[in-house]
Amino acid sequence: MKNIFTYILFVLLIVALYGFAFSFAQSKGTDAKKIFETQKCNACHSVTTAGITSKKKDAVDLSTVGSTYKADFLTKYIKKDAKIKDAVHKFTFKGTDEEMTSLVKWLASLKKK
């Protein structure tokens, strides 16, 4: 009886630890699409390949922005340290550095197929 109880307790402990580790794996990192929407980038931009549309009629679609620009340039542009067509980005990014990195990596991954 004692062995059965120990075995069941051991199995329950393994399941609990697995669930605990899995929950951390799911929340680790940031979701760039969510950051894009939270920072209201979709006010001026759309990413049709990700299902993000802007209410603005002349919104710039960033679905293939990674084919044209690399992550380091996108970071500089969003921080207003670089220009595209002699213009800086209109709005200042108000997120954290981690969010900026996640967002820029995601944008740089959006390429033509």
Q: Say which residues have a Cβ less than 8 Å from residue 43's Cβ, sequence separation at least 6.
A: 54, 55, 56
Residues for the chain: how many in total? 113
Confidence of residue 29 (pLDDT cuts 50, 70, 90): very low
CB atoms within 10 A of CB 88: 14
- Residue 18: the pLDDT is 73
Query: How much is the mean pLDDT over the chain?
Result: 88
Confidence of residue 26 (pLDDT cuts 50, 70, 90): very low
The pLDDT of residue 70 is above 80: yes
Which helix (H) or strand (E) segment is 60 a member of? strand 60-61
Please report where in the chains the tokens 């049709």 appear, as a residue.
48
The pLDDT of residue 51 is above 80: yes
> What is the DSSP track for 11-57?
HHHHHHHHHHHHHHHHHSS--HHHHHHHTTGGGTEEBGGGTB--SST
Distance of CA 77 to the CA centre of its chain: 18
Which amino acid makes up residue 108? A
Please report where in the chains the tokens 């033509």 appear, as a residue.
112
The DSSP bridge partners found for residue 46 are 61
The pLDDT of residue 96 is above 50: yes
Has this prediction a pTM greater than 0.75?
no
